[in-house]
């Protein structure tokens, strides 16, 4: 294909995709940005839009509740992604062993991933039920607790219980990525290290983990980006409660928009959340790129 024609074709082929993405994401993004400098409210009667400069941002940045929500989001993100990472690698190492039924187990692991997020939330909500939940019953029958608890009705435990449900659904992705990376570790490398006298634990830390670190990092950053915008599971399991103990940033913005109908101020929160996401996305980009160039080198 030749210069001009090639260039023309490049854009013609891209045009429909760019158009859709521009309409559904780019323009709304710009619009949200614009809204964040106004005091717009959602109402049936259109009211004049007033430009109020940085007022929303000043309010948002000094709003202790929003800051709380950000901290909670951070807690949710770090703990759930951290656990997914640890569990994922452990599961991958396990699945990489040869044992009877290892292929069946490998296949089973995909099931939590296949469960829709909302079903996952609903199922765990039932499991955590204060009166008839399976968790209470199980722990009680095992003698681990003496009284039934309200797992997600208690601000002290609610967030951690949500995290458990999230980890259950999302560890398979990390495990599969780690497993795929593990399968590329040359057997000779481990044998050589074993001959040098390195024990399994030492081999894991000095050979296996560094070898799979690249892809592992990339998928963890991806999970971080997803975890940071958590909404669905919170909406169904706790609705942000109890006592706001699970109200994350996305949920906070959602309420600002659709409960309090303050679109201008909600937009400023949204832009702040988007800004943090953008940083994470850039981080993903650089780690994925390092991974890609490292893999071909």
Partner 1 sequence: MRRTMLQSVFLYSCVVALALFTIAPLLWLVTMSISAPTDLTEVPLRWIPSEFDFSRYGALLNIDGGSGERFLSALRNSILTAGGATVIALMLAIPAAYSFSRRGASMVLLFAFLATIMMPPITYILPLYSTFSAFGMLNKTTTLIIVYTAMLLPFATWLMKANIDVLPVEVEQAAFMEGASTSYTIRTVVLPLALPAIAATAMLSFLVAWDEFFYALIFTNDLSAKTLPVAIADFSAGRVTDYGVIASVGVMATLPPAILAICFQKFIVSGLVAGSVKG
Partner 2 sequence: MPENQILSVESLQKTYGDVHVLKDINVAMEPGEFLVLVGPSGCGKSTLLSCISGLTEVSSGTIRIAGRDCTHMEPANRDIAMVFQSYALFPNMSVERNIGFGLEVRKVAEAEKKAKVSEVADLLKIEHLLQRRPAELSGGQRQRVAMGRALVRDPKLFLFDEPLSNLDAKLRVTMRTEIKRIHQATGASIVYVTHDQIEAMTLATRIVVMKDGVVQQIGTPHEIYNKPVNAFVADFMGAPSMNLMKGKATPEEGHIRLEIPTPQGRSVSLIDRKTPSQSFRNGPQDVLIGLRPEAMTDQKLSNGSALQSAECLLEVVEPAGADTYAVIHLGETEAIARLSADAPVQAGEMSSITFDLSKVSYFDISSGNRL
Q: Provide the total of helices (H) and of strands (E) in the chain, helices listed first.
A: 15, 0
Distance of CA 138 to the CA centre of its chain: 29
Does 201 participate in binding partner 2 (rule CB under 8 A)? Answer: no
**Could you tell me the end-to-end alpha-carbon distance of the chain, in angstroms, rounded to an integer?**
29
Q: Which is nearer to partner 1, 17 or 53 (CB)?
A: 17
Measured CA to CA, the distance from residue 89 to residue 251 in angstroms comes to: 30
Residue 193 interaction partner, one of partner 1, partner 2, none, beta carbon < 5-8 Å per kind = none
User: Using CB under 8 A, which residues numbered 5 to 64 contact partner 2?
Assistant: 5
Q: For residue 247, give every residue at least 6 positions away whose Cβ sits within 8 Å of its Cβ, in sequence order, or none.
A: 68, 69, 72, 234, 240, 241, 255
User: What x/- string results for residues 5 through 44 when contact with partner 1 is judged by CB under 8 A?
Assistant: -x--xxx-xx-xxx-xx-xxxxxxx-xx--x------x--
- Piece of the chain touching partner 2 by CB under 8 A; list 1-9, 127-135, 219-227, 237-245: 1-9
Three-state DSSP class for 51?
A: strand
HSE (side-chain half, CA atoms, 13 Å) at 214: 17
State the minimum distance, in angstroms, from the CB of residue 159 to partner 1. Answer: 19
- Piece of the chain touching partner 1 by CB under 8 A; list 49-57, 61-69, 154-162, 249-257: 249-257
Residue 26 interaction partner, one of partner 2, partner 1, none, beta carbon < 5-8 Å per kind = partner 1
State the minimum distance, in angstroms, from the CB of residue 42 to partner 1. Answer: 8
287 contacts 59 by C-beta, under 8 angstroms: no
Does 285 participate in binding partner 1 (rule CB under 8 A)? Answer: yes
Residue 52 interaction partner, one of partner 2, partner 1, none, beta carbon < 5-8 Å per kind = none
Measured CA to CA, the distance from residue 241 to residue 158 in angstroms comes to: 8
Total chain residues near partner 2 (CB under 8 A): 4
Q: Which is nearer to partner 1, 245 or 264 (CB)?
A: 264
User: Using CB under 8 A, which residues numbered 114 to 173 contact partner 1?
Assistant: 114-119, 121-127, 129, 131-132, 134, 136-137, 140-141, 148, 168, 173
> Between helices 158-182 and 209-228, what is the axis angle to 10°?
140
| Range list of β-strands (E), the chain | none
Residue 215 interaction partner, one of partner 1, partner 2, none, beta carbon < 5-8 Å per kind = partner 1
State the minimum distance, in angstroms, from the CB of residue 137 to partner 1. Answer: 4
Total chain residues near partner 1 (CB under 8 A): 99
Token pair of 264 as six digits: 């201008």
Instruction: Return the number of other C-beta atoms located less than 10 Å from residue 189's C-beta.
Output: 13
Does 143 participate in binding partner 2 (rule CB under 8 A)? Answer: no
Measured CA to CA, the distance from residue 204 to residue 97 in angstroms comes to: 13
Q: Which residues bind partner 2 (CB under 8 A)?
A: 1-3, 5
């Amino acid at each position: 294909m030749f210069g001009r024609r090639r260039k023309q074709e490049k854009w013609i082929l891209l045009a429909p995709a760019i158009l859709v993405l521009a309409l559904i994401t780019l323009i709304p993004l710009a619009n949200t940005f614009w809204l964040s400098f106004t005091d717009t409210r959602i109402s049936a009667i259109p009211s004049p839009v007033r430009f109020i400069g940085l007022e929303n941002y000043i309010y948002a940045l000094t709003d202790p509740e929003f800051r709380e929500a950000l901290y909670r989001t951070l807690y949710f993100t770090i703990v759930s992604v951290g656990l997914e990472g640890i569990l994922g690698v452990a599961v991958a190492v396990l699945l990489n062993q040869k044992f009877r039924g290892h292929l069946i187990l490998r296949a089973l692991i995909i099931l939590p991933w296949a469960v829709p997020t909302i079903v996952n939330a609903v199922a765990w909500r039932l499991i955590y039920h204060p009166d008839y939940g399976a968790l209470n019953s199980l722990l009680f029958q095992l003698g681990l607790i003496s009284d039934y608890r309200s797992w997600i009705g208690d601000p002290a435990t609610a967030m951690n219980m949500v995290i458990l449900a999230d980890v259950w659904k999302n560890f398979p992705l990390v495990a599969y990525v780690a497993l795929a990376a593990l399968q590329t570790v040359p057997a000779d490398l481990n044998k050589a290290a074993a001959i040098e006298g390195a024990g399994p634990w030492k081999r894991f830390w000095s050979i296996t983990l560094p070898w799979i670190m690249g892809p592992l990092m990339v998928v963890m950053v991806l999970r971080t980006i997803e975890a940071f915008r958590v909404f669905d599971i919170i909406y169904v399991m706790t609705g942000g409660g109890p006592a706001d103990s699970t109200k994350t940033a996305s949920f906070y913005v959602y309420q600002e928009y659709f409960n309090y109908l303050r679109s201008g101020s909600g937009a400023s929160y949204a832009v702040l959340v988007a800004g943090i996401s953008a940083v994470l996305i850039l981080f993903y980009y650089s780690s994925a790129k390092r991974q890609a160039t490292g893999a071909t080198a």
